[in-house]
């Protein structure tokens, strides 16, 4: 195989597996140290095989839990060498999809539980009001002024965080307020900002049902996340 074809093969494999980058790692083994293993790579095929194995271990296997390496190698060898397999490719895909779905459900259940616990605790805090929908709010700065309707456009400053304090969005960080139609945002905002008067500042704790639901939003907000917002109503346009 010439170099260009080998390069294309490696690139294709990495793209298929989602291996976009390589991270150096030092590992210890009871039988062979990293340095000893490198000394055994005497041919280009040895190096290629070992490197590909490292990439699969780093970028694919670490996404899963415990892995039986004997079964892993059996499956890889059988598929690569066109030997008899214990399941077909369709079954393999379904198995991985089912595993990922199960893992996602377990993670989602944990997120929901944490959100419910936070909402329960916050509801008992001084100054917190809970609406019929489950939205929680407290007044940080009171003001005398008009209240917007759902059909109004409003200008606000705001900061949004996850329960662990991770900031996922902030007009303060961008250095300018945001303007939007109140009935075109998440339900928690549509309901909550209507409770505000111009010049006031509220803190909202928004259950996932009134936020981005079971899908989440982008890379920052996962499924079933309870969100916290501090919102300052600047004007009704």
Positions annotated as catalytic residues are: 158, 168-169, 186, 212, 229
Cα–Cα distance between 101 and 56 in angstroms, integer? 21
User: Rounded to whole angstroms, how far apart are CA atoms 176 and 193?
Assistant: 18
What are φ and ψ of residue 206, in 5° steps?
Answer: -110, 115
And the tokens for 3? 């170099």
Please check whether residue 179 is in contact with residue 154, taking contact to mean a CB–CB distance below 8 angstroms. yes
156 by DSSP, 3-state: which?
strand
d(CA 201, CA 213): 25
Which of 112, 77, 89 lies closest to 214 in space, CA to CA? 112
């Amino acid at each position: 195989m010439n170099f260009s074809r080998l390069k294309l093969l490696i690139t294709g494999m990495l793209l298929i597996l989602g291996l976009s980058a390589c991270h150096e790692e030092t590992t210890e083994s009871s039988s062979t140290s990293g340095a000893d293993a490198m000394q055994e790579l005497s041919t280009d095929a040895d190096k290629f095989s070992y490197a590909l194995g490292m990439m699969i271990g780093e970028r694919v296997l670490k996404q899963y839990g415990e892995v039986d390496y004997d079964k892993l190698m059996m499956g890889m060898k059988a598929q690569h060498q066109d030997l008899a397999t214990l399941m077909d490719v369709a079954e393999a895909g379904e198995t991985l999809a089912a595993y990922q779905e199960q893992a996602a459900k377990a993670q989602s259940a944990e997120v929901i539980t944490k959100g419910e616990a936070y909402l329960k605790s916050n509801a008992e805090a001084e100054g917190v009001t809970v609406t019929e929908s489950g939205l929680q709010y407290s007044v940080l700065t009171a003001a005398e002024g008009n209240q917007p309707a759902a059909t109004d456009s409003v200008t606000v400053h705001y900061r949004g965080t996850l329960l662990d304090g991770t900031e996922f969005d902030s007009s303060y960080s961008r250095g300018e307020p945001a303007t939007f139609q109140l009935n075109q945002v998440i339900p928690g905002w549509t309901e909550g900002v209507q409770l505000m008067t111009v010049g006031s500042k509220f803190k909202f704790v928004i259950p996932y049902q009134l936020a981005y639901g079971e899908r989440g939003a982008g890379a920052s907000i996962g499924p079933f996340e309870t969100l916290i917002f501090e919102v300052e109503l600047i004007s009704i346009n």
